[in-house]
Structure 1
Amino acid sequence: MPDQIIQPNGRLKPSIVQRSLIRVDTLIRLRWYAISGQAGAVVVIAMGFGYEIPWSICLLLIAASAGLNILLTWRFKTSHRLEPNDAFTLLAFDIAQLGVLLWLTGGLRNPFAILLLAPVIVSATSLYKSHTMGLGLLAIVVISLLAFFHLPLPWDPSNPLILPDLYVGGVWGALVCTLLFTAIYVFRVAEEARKLGNALTATELVLQREQHLSALDGLAAAAAHELGTPLATIALVSKEMLHALPEDDHMREDAVLLRSQAERCREILGKLTSLSSEGETIIEEQSLSALVEEEVQPLRSFEKSITIHHHGDASSEPHVTRAPGVHYGLGNLLDNAVDFAKREVRVCVLWDETTAQVTISDDGEGYPPALLSQLGEPFVSGRKKGKNAPQRGMGLGLFISKTLLERSGAKVTFSNGTKDDDEHLAGAVVTVQWPRFSQAAGDQSDGAQAAQGFIRPQLTAHIA
């Protein structure tokens, strides 16, 4: 999955939702439990109660299932994960084997008929929808056949149990309804968990990438420090060569060139060193307006117009730490706005004594109203781009941006603008708002505490 998430430009591209493959050891253990239960039931009914039952054929079917388990144990390591098609085949075999056992022991009149649902539920947790639907259809076919075709239920011959057909029909309906409801419910829950897990993995990868980029200045300084000694040696040797060579020597020109290039390398390394020392406060801390301008600047080369409006007292503008997650989150939201805008993107930077806010709006078609409450969830994407625009994504970008920004204490909301709104454009509107220290000082919520680590305290203390 990781190579499907991040493009060379650092943005996201659609990713395939991964399934958690079933470990062969897990399936083998579950099948041993089923085999033990089947064998125990046959022995108790045949020998304990003394009821007439084709026990030899039943034990032969159970032995076939046990043999398959032994073959799986011999063939695969316990840590091996079965491919979806292989797991589907095994679960289909279990449904067929249990169906034949039930045919020999009373069909739907046998209370153990409910166990036909188990393989379908196992499939719903780990396999694809097509596999689960196939197993569900097979189970319904087996249940339907058992309603009409089966041997007598093992029972006391002196007091035969006769169940009306209406009751058997009710059992059939109950099994089918339970199968459908349980399979759909389990599949939806497992699917949401898979999507959330994949999206969180993508978030961690993006954040890790941004942190690596932010650490480049430190790496550059370390490289400059390591290269300083050999470079000084080259400069010293070239200087001695210049002193030793006569003016008319043809090697003197090469020595002069070597000396000048060594000096140039020394200047470059000096700049790299200052990147992590002298300029550290500039890199690690910036005003909110500078943060927004830094993210907008690379997008100005596009044909869309991007305007920035500031609302607030310049003397009390908040300064923020240079957090990689915030840079990525704002950058991705701006990138989306430029992609979907027709002609213009408007960014409003607002601050007062209690909050700092960045609002991004575009003049595109906006978000579908039906999806507004779901935006920011993984794999929810509703906006359609223009004819020549890139393919629509899977919603991971909005989820990751929202997650990273909320880690800094921000509250992210999505809405649509109106034509009567002079402040925002009539397309999609994204609002990112942080509480400032004057408000958050007594607030112990996670968001307020995270915001205290993002918005610098020294420039907000005098506001309170």
Structure 2
Amino acid sequence: MAEARILSAVERAKQRAEIAGRRNMLLLTHLRWFASLGQLVTILTVHFWLGVNLPIGPMITVLAGLVLLNILTLIMLAGRHAVANWELFLALLVDLAALTSQLYMSGGASNPFAPIGLLQVVVGAVLLEAWSSWVLAAMHSAAFGLLTIYYRPLELPLEHTSSLAPIHIFASWLNFVLVAVLLVFFVTRIGRNLRMRDASLAEMRQQAAEEDHIVRMGLLASGAAHELGTPLSSLAVIVGDWRKRPDFAANHSLIEDITEMQIAVARCKEIVGGILYASGEARSEGLERTTLRRFVKSVADQWTLQHPGVLRLDDRLTENPAIAADRTLAQIVTNVLDNAAEADATLVEMTAETKKGNLLLIVRDDGSGFPTEMLRNLGTPYHSSKDRRGAGLGLFLAVNVMRKLGGSIEIRNGRVRGALVTLSIPLDALALSDADG
């Protein structure tokens, strides 16, 4: 169950990331427009106003390439709703190549605008996944290092001529690398913390919605249980009277049918009583002091009355503490067994054991198992393989009751056939309190 929920959450997160990637790509195109305009103004100002001889043709060609990239990107985004991380990474690599080319043609690392590559490192750390952020930072650092060796020297007028010592150039490169590493490290960490916070908030909202759903279902179930109590009691009395009639008693086949009817009515009354007990309306008279082994055996025996010859109980309990019999838990176990029977299982094995302070109930069956789509949505209401109204609530309630008890439920298909359901309940949640004793 936990694995199915995790897989489902991962898939939803991946879809959200791809949709967010489209917005990030649009943001990247906006930044590229500003960067292209800024580079054009700077190139023209330095060449014509400051009198610095620059290779205008090649540098304008690089800017034209960035403009063309933006146009192609906007055309691509017009018919798409998702952009993957690798596409953002590739776009930033093109920006890196363009910036490196411009710096190569205008003095390399001695160009006062050389550290502007850190802006692209920051953008990459914010928009990209961690691995691609680190690769981008490494490539920027490598490019800056190469620009300290390979570049086209600027032909500056005498009044603007100056030179930097090699140690100064090396220190500038080292400073670039340190800042790039720290930026990627802290920005990715902050981004991860924010994503974890958002995921936690989303999980809390989902849990609150599920609990609200449970409350509303509980109110409806409690009202229905009150209304069903009287007709079930009447049926129990009528069936009991039939059993005592002399003309019915002589018909053994009819007596067997009446016996099955009494068992079915008793089962219905027990379910109704469990609903009232779970809602807190029958707690004082429904609470029963028993032992762990007796509780597990009674649940198995009750289910066997309705499905003779199907269930096999494997008692491996190493502890047998006194507990307060919980009808809600008994109903959950019964629902799990019912699901196995409805999946055409001919053999259901339930193993009971205690491990690390928990009661483990492991139910295996040889039925048809769970469909893949159902496994992805287990624990959410109205997702079921049964084509009837209200189907799927049993496992939804089981997940939430286990969570309330501090336990868990894990569901998966068998390797060949059938399903495996594991219920884990802390023994402390079942222990007798002073009020119960």
TM-score normalised per structure 2 = 0.51
Aligned to 1:162: 162
2:183 paired with 1:205 = no
8 Å Cα contact 1:136/1:179 also seen in 2: yes
Q: Which amino acid aligns with 1:164?
A: L
Q: For residue 79 of structure 1, report the CA deviation from its aligned partner.
A: 8.3
Q: For residue 282 of structure 1, report the CA deviation from its aligned partner.
A: 7.1
Q: For residue 47 of structure 1, report the CA deviation from its aligned partner.
A: 3.0
Distance across 2 between alignment mates of 1:70 and 1:203: 42
8 Å Cα contact 1:107/1:146 also seen in 2: yes
Aligned to 1:65: 66
Q: For residue 204 of structure 1, report the CA deviation from its aligned partner.
A: 3.6
Number of residues of Structure 1 aligned to a counterpart in Structure 2: 294
Note the 1:3-402 alignment, pairs <5 A. 4-5=4-5, 20=17, 21-22=20-21, 23-77=24-78, 80-153=81-154, 155=156, 157-166=157-166, 167-213=168-214, 215-221=216-222, 271=273, 274=276, 279=281, 303=318, 341=356
Distance across 1 between alignment mates of 2:270 and 2:149: 87
8 Å Cα contact 2:218/2:279 also seen in 1: no
Q: For residue 49 of structure 1, report the CA deviation from its aligned partner.
A: 2.7
Higher helix share: 2
Aligned to 1:433: none
Q: For residue 168 of structure 1, report the CA deviation from its aligned partner.
A: 1.7
Which runs of no fewer than 5 residues in structure 1 stay unpaired? 235-246, 309-337, 346-400, 405-464
Q: For residue 71 of structure 1, report the CA deviation from its aligned partner.
A: 1.0
Cα distance change on mapping 1:304 and 1:224 into 2, 3 Å: closer
Distance across 1 between alignment mates of 2:128 and 2:321: 46
Identity across aligned pairs (percent)? 22
Q: For residue 137 of structure 1, report the CA deviation from its aligned partner.
A: 1.6
Distance across 2 between alignment mates of 1:177 and 1:220: 64
Aligned to 2:348: none
Aligned to 1:421: none
Aligned to 1:350: none
Q: For residue 119 of structure 1, report the CA deviation from its aligned partner.
A: 2.4
Distance across 1 between alignment mates of 2:321 and 2:64: 72
Q: Secondary structure in 2 aligned to 1:148? A: coil
8 Å Cα contact 2:53/2:154 also seen in 1: no
8 Å Cα contact 1:224/1:272 also seen in 2: no
Q: CA RMSD in A?
A: 5.4
8 Å Cα contact 1:105/1:152 also seen in 2: yes
Cα distance change on mapping 1:219 and 1:113 into 2, 3 Å: farther
Q: Which amino acid aligns with 1:279?
A: E
Q: Secondary structure in 2 aligned to 1:65? A: helix
Distance across 1 between alignment mates of 2:114 and 2:50: 20
Cα distance change on mapping 1:302 and 1:180 into 2, 3 Å: farther
Distance across 2 between alignment mates of 1:42 and 1:150: 17
Q: For residue 103 of structure 1, report the CA deviation from its aligned partner.
A: 0.5
Q: For residue 127 of structure 1, report the CA deviation from its aligned partner.
A: 2.3
Distance across 2 between alignment mates of 1:68 and 1:140: 24
Q: For residue 197 of structure 1, report the CA deviation from its aligned partner.
A: 2.3
8 Å Cα contact 2:141/2:173 also seen in 1: no
Q: Secondary structure in 2 aligned to 1:162? A: coil
Cα distance change on mapping 1:152 and 1:195 into 2, 3 Å: same
Q: Which amino acid aligns with 1:117?
A: L
Cα distance change on mapping 1:138 and 1:305 into 2, 3 Å: farther
8 Å Cα contact 1:4/1:15 also seen in 2: no
Q: What per-residue deviation string (whole Å, max 9, x for no partner) do you get for residues 128-164 of structure 1?
A: 2221121112111110111011112363x23242322
Note the 1:401-420 alignment, pairs <5 A. none
Q: Which amino acid aligns with 2:57?
A: S
Q: Which amino acid aligns with 2:51?
A: G
Cα distance change on mapping 1:227 and 1:59 into 2, 3 Å: farther
Aligned to 2:432: none
Cα distance change on mapping 1:183 and 1:266 into 2, 3 Å: closer
8 Å Cα contact 1:120/1:183 also seen in 2: yes
Q: For residue 96 of structure 1, report the CA deviation from its aligned partner.
A: 1.0
TM-score normalised per structure 1 = 0.49
Distance across 1 between alignment mates of 2:218 and 2:46: 76
Distance across 2 between alignment mates of 1:80 and 1:260: 60
Q: For residue 62 of structure 1, report the CA deviation from its aligned partner.
A: 0.9
Distance across 2 between alignment mates of 1:144 and 1:128: 25
Cα distance change on mapping 1:260 and 1:128 into 2, 3 Å: same
Cα distance change on mapping 1:64 and 1:221 into 2, 3 Å: same
Cα distance change on mapping 1:225 and 1:65 into 2, 3 Å: farther
Q: What per-residue deviation string (whole Å, max 9, x for no partner) do you get for residues 289-337 of structure 1?
A: x9xx99xx99x986578899xxxxxxxxxxxxxxxxxxxxxxxxxxxxx
8 Å Cα contact 1:105/1:151 also seen in 2: yes
Cα distance change on mapping 1:273 and 1:62 into 2, 3 Å: same
